Amino acid sequence: MSALEVFASPTVDPPRRLLVRVAQRGSLLVFLAILLGFAVSAPNFLSVGNISNVFAQSAMLGILALGLTCVVIGGGSNVVSGGLDLSLAANLGLCAAVYSSLNNAGFEAWQAIALTLGCGLAVGAFNGVAV
């Protein structure tokens, strides 16, 4: 004959339960509070134009973050052994400056893009060998 054991879940007193929920969802609550604060203080903050501007400005960093996400998922999150390249954003800034300088110097767009890609590849290869 088998015995059926029933385990009751531990009860958490209501004040502690509130603290647990805030700890679990705290960053979302802070984000919503900041969003509400900006929406109240600036009437055009939630306009379509501003939201599309925010998305356009963060698209490049989103693409870089996607690449680093693949590295982290692959298990390369140890900075000491060379998993993550922390100079990625600095390399992005350097490449943007190189492209802008070449564009202002009168280079054709395809030449500026090719030289900028070469600069990014050279810096990335150097960092890969150095780490």
Residue 64 covered by a domain = no
pLDDT on residue 28: 87
Both structure tokens of 80: 């000491």
Residue 10 covered by a domain = no
Residue 89 covered by a domain = yes
pLDDT band with cut points at 50, 70 and 90 for residue 18: confident
Closest by CA position to 93, among listed 55, 123, 129: 123
Domain containing 99: what range? 85-131
User: What span, in angstroms and rounded, lies between the C-alpha atoms of 115 and 122?
Assistant: 10
Q: How far is CA 45 from CA 57, 61, 96, in A?
A: 15, 21, 28
pLDDT of residue 7 exceeding 70, the answer is no
Q: Output 41 or 4, whichever has higher pLDDT.
A: 41
Residue 123 covered by a domain = yes
Q: Output 37 or 10, whichever has higher pLDDT.
A: 37
pLDDT of residue 78 exceeding 60, the answer is yes
Total number of domains constituting the chain: 1
Q: What pLDDT digit, counting tens, does each position of 91-130 carry? A: 989 999 999 999 999 999 999 999 999 999 999 889 878 7
CA neighbours within 13 Å on the CB side: how many for 49?
Answer: 2
Q: What pLDDT digit, counting tens, does each position of 42-75 carry? A: 989 989 999 999 999 999 888 888 878 877 777 6
- Pair 87, 124: CB distance under 8 Å: no
pLDDT band with cut points at 50, 70 and 90 for residue 9: low
Residue 75 covered by a domain = no
Residue 108 covered by a domain = yes
